[in-house]
Structure 1
Amino acid sequence: MDTAHNAALAGWMKEHGYSANSFADKVNEAVERLTGRPSGFDGSSVRDWKAGRVKWPNAATRQALEAVTGLSAIALGFVPRGQAKTRPAPPQEDHDMKRRTMVGGIAAAAAAAASPGTAALRRIGMSDVERLQKRFAEVIASDHRYGGQLDIEQRATGLASEALNLQSAGSASQRVRGSLYAAAAAFRSSAMWAAIDGRRYANAQQHMHEAQSLAEMSGDQALKFRIWSHAGTMYRHMGRPADAFAANDVARNLRITRRDPLFASLGLARQAAIHGAAHDPGGIKRAFNEAYEAMERADPAAPRPVWMLAFYDEAEMHSLALSAYLACGDHQKAEYHAHQCLAALRPHMERSRAITTTRLAHSQLAQGDADAAVVSAMKVPATAATQHARVSRMLTEFGAALRATAPDTPVAQSWTEHTATWRACA
């Protein structure tokens, strides 16, 4: 066997059912999305990658490969120039082995970049970090407007790769290297959230493992909180409340929740939502009240990361209570928190408004008010109804419940006609 054979890439393609030609097509699509220019990879290009004849593709190709697979170029078996190849763990191995392999690959890349024998192309500084942070703010804005879209996930994944590529692009101080790891972790956590919001849970778990390791290397407490808190939300949506409590507890026990009550509040509000999934109304009330009290203690002028400032406020706290009571079957309280959330939502929170309005419709229908429920559901924009996986699923469930509780009624007919216009616009 050729000792340069790339077993990691070959194993990933086999596991996911890709031929050389079909994989080349996916990479070409990703390159065009990332660069705006078509690419010409074919089956022979992929065979060159698998055979190890191309050891380190160019930056655009690496970003495209990561967007398609959800794995870094190093985890896919490619080797940065000037480094000796090590045999990567095949993708079929368990999650712990994947994580150890990924961490080792990232650490090796960082060590090579920092070693005296590495040819430094330029000095990497905080201006490079600030440029990435600006791109991160753009990803956050897209998420609040559209939410859950695959292109947001792929863009965030590509930017995480860009941050890691800078580690080996030149010399940098320890502070800058830590900031680059933090930027990569932030992008990975946004990719994770987009995948959760789009119900692509396998992708979300891949992003989670990478994000957790990068956040550990950065030492950024706020990022650790974000990633573990997202993990709790992911497991809640997957119907695994025990795992959700465990993940959210990791976030809630971090030092940052003792330093800043706003982080403590978010952890408690998400704990309330998990209590809802576990059908524990007492736990919901207790956690929500504690979350509210913690928010009142928080200094509104304290410096906080952009992702926290962009979304967590009283509206989001009521949104989480709405989710909790809806899951628990207390539809009157769910409706109350839905109205509170909608009244407090900031204009840019378009995704959150669509989700809250849909949940309001569910709570009203469950109380027997089909007319009010349909009026609420019709306020959801067609784009969210047809393109956001979570909203689309909830509206499908709403339609089924409406037909079951109010069949052959004018309001049910109105809803059927309204959804037909959505499908025509999709």
Structure 2
Amino acid sequence: MAETRNEPLAAWLTGHQMSAVELADAVNDAIGEFTGRTGTTSERTVFRWLSGENRWPQERQRRGLEVVTGLTATALGFVPRGKSKTVPALPEDPDVHRRQFFSATAGTAAAVAIPLTTASARPSRVGTSDVIRLRDDVERLVALDAERGGHGLEQAALAGATEALGLQRKSTTQRVRQRLFALAADFTATAAWSLIDAGRLDGAGRHLDRALTLAGLAQDSEMAIQVWNLRAMLARQRRDYAEAVASSRAAQATVIARRSPLHSSLAHARTAVGLAHSGDNRAAIGCLGRAEDALSKADLAQPHATWIAFYGPAELHSLTAIVRDVVGHPAEAEAASHRALATLPDSYRRNRAHTTARLALTQLHQGDVEQACATSGTVFTIMAGAPLPGRMRQLLGDFQRDLIARAPSAHIAHEWTDQYRTEWSSS
């Protein structure tokens, strides 16, 4: 039978930025935790898994893989031997093994504001397993941000950065040290985003300065573009549009933006927003076109870093709506907002509420006051049960000010304010 490349395993390695050697080391460490003896998986073994030469690893290696990845062997692309294709049952749920493994290999100080991984002891040997565990913690923070907003995550993110830097001082290889620096940058950038989303802008810049330094120490272009993207957002919140454009252009100049159409698209879209607010309408529309062109070339099915998971057609439509509204094209902005809402994943509740508030503004700017008021009210429904992030409160404040200025009578604005005062105060 011809060998078939194991694409699921290859995709997992790509998504976690791991080499074959690092996966082998992590599997061996996992085997050591549940057998008492470190495994003997080699780089060559992993290559045989990837090529399809070995389609069903030994039981201990399967268990080790499941502990490290949190996925079953079949989900990783392996095929059981024999005609029945029945997968032998593992003694325990691999997720349980995984939690025990990570608990045994390292402790997480990040369980401050949210329940991240906990542990009982610090390791004497720091390696790939610690990188995977901390990346899982970053992913949990990102998932919480998508659900309810980044506000309230600062302390958990900073604790994660502290642990990554502490482990970096104990790490055994240069590659692991760089990855821990990159994780510290990721955590620190997440802390900055928490403040930006909460509307607490004063401390965000300091976090971003630190994150950019850590990204440099990691020699990680992915982390650098994340920081420049947030710098552009922070500058726009401060209404420093020249810095917003400069930060976006710095993002365009990163190595990864030159190589990845997805990252290039985000950088161009962010530049368009800054240019629109600066009054350079023609350049802003041109940047939007480049963002659309780049995104059309991106392979969205390929694994990407967790921080940029939010970006795709829906987010580009949302940024397009902002640009079109700012440059004076509210009808086009409304259409873009509807396209964004139609394609936005259900898990991005905060983004949906934010885009809905933007939609209300575009309707208001077209003179459709009654529809705009009704649309803005759904923001509170979408975010029911979660506090409104400061950034969203500011956007609704912009809506209220524009409503007062544009409503045909003061009664309409007062009625909107009275209707949503309770929701506003309770959220």
Q: Name the residue aligned to 1:303.
A: 303
**CA separation in 1, counterparts of 2:408 and 2:415?**
12
**CA separation in 2, counterparts of 1:359 and 1:368?**
15
Q: Name the residue aligned to 2:81.
A: none
**CA separation in 2, counterparts of 1:184 and 1:253?**
22
CA deviation profile, 1:248-291 (whole Å, cap 9, x unmatched): 11110112122211111111111111111112221122111111
Structure 1 residues 410, 235: closer, same or farther in 2, change over 3 A?
closer
Q: Name the residue aligned to 2:68.
A: none
CA deviation profile, 1:21-66 (whole Å, cap 9, x unmatched): xxxxxxxxxxxxxxxxxxxxxxxxxxxxxxxxxxxxxx999998xx
Checking the alignment, whether the CA contact within 8 Å between 1:386 and 1:423 is kept in structure 2 is: no
**CA separation in 2, counterparts of 1:211 and 1:424?**
34
Q: After TM superposition, give the deviation of residue 423 of structure 1 in Å.
A: 4.2
Q: Name the residue aligned to 2:360.
A: 361
**CA separation in 1, counterparts of 2:109 and 2:188?**
18
Q: Name the residue aligned to 2:245.
A: 245
- The residue identity in structure 2 corresponding to 1:126 is T
- The residue identity in structure 2 corresponding to 1:201 is L
- The residue identity in structure 2 corresponding to 1:128 is D
In structure 1, the gaps of 5 or more residues are 1-58, 68-119
> Which region of structure 1 is more displaced relative to structure 2, 255-264 or 179-188?
255-264
- The residue identity in structure 2 corresponding to 1:279 is G
Q: Name the residue aligned to 2:57.
A: none
Q: Name the residue aligned to 2:166.
A: 165
> Which region of structure 1 is more displaced relative to structure 2, 246-255 or 404-413?
404-413
Normalised by the size of structure 2, how large is the TM-score? 0.68
Q: Secondary structure at the residue paired with 1:303?
A: coil
Q: Secondary structure at the residue paired with 1:312?
A: coil
**CA separation in 1, counterparts of 2:168 and 2:244?**
34
- The residue identity in structure 1 corresponding to 2:258 is R
Structure 1 residues 137, 326: closer, same or farther in 2, change over 3 A?
same
Q: Name the residue aligned to 2:141.
A: 139
Checking the alignment, whether the CA contact within 8 Å between 2:162 and 2:184 is kept in structure 1 is: yes
**CA separation in 2, counterparts of 1:62 and 1:347?**
27
Q: Name the residue aligned to 2:132.
A: 130
Q: Name the residue aligned to 2:117.
A: none
Q: After TM superposition, give the deviation of residue 413 of structure 1 in Å.
A: 5.4
* Pairs within 5 Å for 1:384-399: 387-399=388-400
**CA separation in 2, counterparts of 1:353 and 1:375?**
16
- The residue identity in structure 2 corresponding to 1:274 is G
In structure 2, the gaps of 5 or more residues are 1-106, 114-121
Q: Secondary structure at the residue paired with 1:202?
A: coil
Root mean square deviation, CA, Å: 2.5
**CA separation in 1, counterparts of 2:353 and 2:139?**
22
Structure 1 residues 167, 361: closer, same or farther in 2, change over 3 A?
same
Q: Name the residue aligned to 1:416.
A: 417
Q: After TM superposition, give the deviation of residue 177 of structure 1 in Å.
A: 0.8
Q: Secondary structure at the residue paired with 2:279?
A: coil
Q: After TM superposition, give the deviation of residue 405 of structure 1 in Å.
A: 2.9
**CA separation in 1, counterparts of 2:300 and 2:402?**
42
**CA separation in 1, counterparts of 2:249 and 2:294?**
16
* Pairs within 5 Å for 1:150-299: 151-168=152-169, 170-299=170-299
- The residue identity in structure 2 corresponding to 1:221 is S
Q: After TM superposition, give the deviation of residue 171 of structure 1 in Å.
A: 4.3
CA deviation profile, 1:125-145 (whole Å, cap 9, x unmatched): 110110000000001111111
Checking the alignment, whether the CA contact within 8 Å between 1:386 and 1:422 is kept in structure 2 is: no
Checking the alignment, whether the CA contact within 8 Å between 1:319 and 1:341 is kept in structure 2 is: yes
- The residue identity in structure 2 corresponding to 1:366 is H
Checking the alignment, whether the CA contact within 8 Å between 2:188 and 2:207 is kept in structure 1 is: yes
Normalised by the size of structure 1, how large is the TM-score? 0.68
- The residue identity in structure 1 corresponding to 2:314 is A
Q: Name the residue aligned to 2:337.
A: 338
- The residue identity in structure 1 corresponding to 2:200 is R
